[in-house]
Structure 1
Amino acid sequence: MPGSILKITAYLFIAALALVSIEAFAHGVDDKTRAFLLQNEGVQFVPFLYIGAKHMITGYDHLLFLVGVIFFLYRSKDILLYVTMFTIGHSTTLLFGVLSDIQVNAYLIDAIIGFSVIYKGFDNLGGFRRCFNWQPSTRWAVLIFGLFHGFGLATKLQDFQLPEEGLITNLIAFNIGVELGQFAALAIILIVINAWRKHTSFQRFSTTTNAALMSAGVMLMGFQLTGFFVN
C-alpha cells in the first residue's frame, strides 16, 4: 500500500509539473483574459474579480508556496497568521506596483517566486538548522516573499497598460478576487493535508513531499530564468 501511495503521489506530481511548465511559459494569462484586458474600458468590477480569483486558483507558483507555508502548521491561529502575512505582502505590492507604475522584469520576479518555493521546502526540511545552525524568521520570510508574489501579480496587469478610468476600482476588484481564489484553494489544500495527517504515511512521506516541492521550485525558477535570457 505505501508503495502504491508513493507511485500515485509521483504521478500527480509529474502532472502538476507539466501544468506548472505550461503556466510558466504562458506567463499566466490565457487568450480570453488577454482579449478582455486589451479591450477593457472603465469600471469592470465583476470581470476583474473573476480574473483575480481565476489567476490565483490557476497560479501554481503561488499555490505551491502556500502548500509549503501551511504544510507543518497544525493550529488554526498559526495558519491564519501566516496566510495574513502573505496576503498583506502580495496585496501591498500588487496595488502599489500597478498604481505607481513600477516596472519590474516579469521573468525575474517569477524566478524569485520559484525560489520562494525552494526556500519553503528547504525550510520545512530543517535545512537552515542542519546546514547553517541558524533559523531565519519564518514570519518575515512569508511576508517578504509575499511582496514578491504581489509584484508577480502586478506584472501580469502592467503588460496590458490598463486605462486610468476605473483603474483603482478594477485593481481592488482584482485583489479581492485574488483573495477569494486564495481562500478557495487554501480550503481544498487544508482538507487534503488534514486528511493525510491522519495516516502514518504523512510523516513517512513528508520529507519526500517537501523535496518534491523544492524540485518544483527549481523547475519554475529554471523556466523563468531561461525565459529571461532568451527574451
Structure 2
Amino acid sequence: MTSSWLNRSHAVRTWSCVTLVAIALLMLGSVEAFAHNVAEGDKGYIQESSGVLFFPFVYLGAKHMVTGYDHLLFLFGVIFFLYRMKDIGIYVTLFAIGHSTTMLFGVLTGISANAYIIDAIIGLSVVYKALDNLGAFQRWFGVQPNTKVATLLFGFFHGFGLATKIIEFQIAPDGLIPNLIAFNIGVEIGQLLALGAILIVMGFWRRTSSFMRHAFAANTILMAAGFVLVGYQLVGLAVT
C-alpha cells in the first residue's frame, strides 16, 4: 500500500516537473519565435542565397524538422498508441504528403496566409491529437474522427505554415525549384531522424508497467502544450 502510494506520488511529481519545464521553455521564447520557427541565421541565408544550393537546403530542411517542436509534438501524439511499423509508416507518410504538398504549392504560387493564424491551427492539431488519444471525441460526441484523414489535413496546415514563412523571406527565383525540392528532402530526413529518436524512447517506455498508467497524464500534458502554442500565436496576432 505504502509502495503503491509512493509510486503514484513520484509519478505526479515527475509529470508536474515535466509540465513546468515545458511551459518555462515555451515562455522563454519570444512571440516572434512561435511564428513558424526558422532561425534568424537561416532566414538570412535563405534571403541572400541565389542559384542551386542542394545540400545546404537539405540541411536547412532537416534542421527545421528536428528543431520544429510543433511538428514533433504532433508526430508524438500520432504515434503514441501505434505499435506496428506498418501503421506508423502509413500515418507518417500521410503527414509527409500533406506537409510537402502545401509547402511546395504555397511557395511556387506565392499564396500565403497570416503566419500566426496558420500556426494557431497547428497548435490546435496538437490539441486534437491529444484529445483523440484520450478518447474524448468518442466519449463526448459518440463519434470517432477518421485519424488518417485528420493527419493528412493537419499535414497540409503544417506545410502551409512553413510556405508562408518562406514567402516572407523572398527566396531568390534562381534555383527555386531545386532548392525547394532539396529542402523538402531535408524535411523528410529530419522527420525520420526525429521519429527514430521518439520511437526509441517510446519503445523503452512501453515495456514498463508505467506506460498505460501515465498515458493519460502524458496526453494531458501534450494537450496543454498545444493550447500554449495556440495562446502564443493569438497573442502574436493581437500585438502585430
How many Å separate the matches in 1 of 2:52 and 2:30? 28
Offset of 1:2 from its aligned partner?
4.8
Offset of 1:11 from its aligned partner?
2.6
> Which letter maps to 1:4?
H
- 2:26 is aligned with 1:16: no
User: Could you say which residue in structure 1 is the equivalent of 2:32?
Assistant: 25
How many Å separate the matches in 2 of 1:19 and 1:58? 13
Q: Is the 8 A contact 1:20 1:60 kept in 2?
A: no
Give the structure-2-normalised TM-score. 0.92
How many Å separate the matches in 2 of 1:204 and 1:87? 31
- 2:163 is aligned with 1:157: no
Offset of 1:23 from its aligned partner?
7.1
- 2:101 is aligned with 1:92: yes
Structure 1's 2 and 23: CA in aligned 2 closer, same or farther, altered over 3 A?
A: farther
> Which letter maps to 2:24?
A
- 2:180 is aligned with 1:171: yes
> Which letter maps to 1:10?
S
Structure 1's 57 and 14: CA in aligned 2 closer, same or farther, altered over 3 A?
A: farther
How many Å separate the matches in 2 of 1:32 and 1:149? 22
Structure 1's 13 and 183: CA in aligned 2 closer, same or farther, altered over 3 A?
A: farther
Of the three residues 35, 38, 46, the one matched with 2:44 is: 35
Give the structure-1-normalised TM-score. 0.95
Query: What are structure 1's unaligned runs of at least 5 residues?
Result: none
> Which letter maps to 1:96?
F
Q: Is the 8 A contact 1:95 1:171 kept in 2?
A: yes
How many Å separate the matches in 1 of 2:68 and 2:30? 8
Q: Is the 8 A contact 2:98 2:156 kept in 1?
A: yes
Give the number of the structure whose alpha-carbon radius of gyration is greater: 2
Of the three residues 180, 184, 187, the one matched with 2:193 is: 184
- 2:216 is aligned with 1:210: no
- 2:114 is aligned with 1:105: yes
The runs of 4+ residues in structure 1 deviating greater than 2 Å are 1-21
How many Å separate the matches in 1 of 2:13 and 2:66? 25
- 2:13 is aligned with 1:4: no
With 7-16 and 68-77 compared, the bigger mean Cα shift is at 7-16
Deviations 1:38-59 (A, max 9, x none): 2111111111111111111111
- 2:125 is aligned with 1:116: yes
Cα root mean square deviation, aligned:
1.5
User: Could you say which residue in structure 1 is the equivalent of 2:69?
Assistant: 60
Determine what percentage of the aligned residue pairs are the same residue: 55
Query: What are structure 2's unaligned runs of at least 5 residues?
Result: 1-6
> Which letter maps to 2:153?
I
Q: Is the 8 A contact 2:205 2:211 kept in 1?
A: yes
Structure 1's 119 and 23: CA in aligned 2 closer, same or farther, altered over 3 A?
A: farther
How many Å separate the matches in 2 of 1:108 and 1:141? 18
